[in-house]
Amino acid sequence: MAKQAKADYEACQGYANCVMGAEDYFDLDDDGKVVLLASEVPESDEPRVAEAARSCPVSALWLEDS
């Protein structure tokens, strides 16, 4: 079952760890806040995207069951 990437835009501090780990799912906008490029995460990408989300030092990203 695919997961959904979620973000707390207010919590994001623009560290960009997520972008380095999964640049096809996460980017930063002009204000340095995370942008979800794709919210649905197929099982094949889940380990990589989950690790990128866990790398956020302020826990602004997570995966949920869809």
Structural domains in the chain, sorted by start = 3-61 (3.30.70.20)
- pLDDT computed for residue 64 by the predictor: 98
Closest by alpha carbon to 24, among 7, 4, 38? 38
- Which residues are within 8 A (CB) of 12 and not within 5 positions of it... i.e. 6 or more apart? 32, 33, 34, 56, 58, 60
**Mean pLDDT value of segment 41-60:** 98
The string of pLDDT tens digits covering residues 14-30 is 999 999 999 999 999 99
CA end-to-end span of the chain: 7
- Give the residue with greater pLDDT, 7 vs 66: 7
- pTM, two decimals, is 0.92
d(CA 9, CA 11): 5
Closest by alpha carbon to 5, among 65, 62, 48? 62
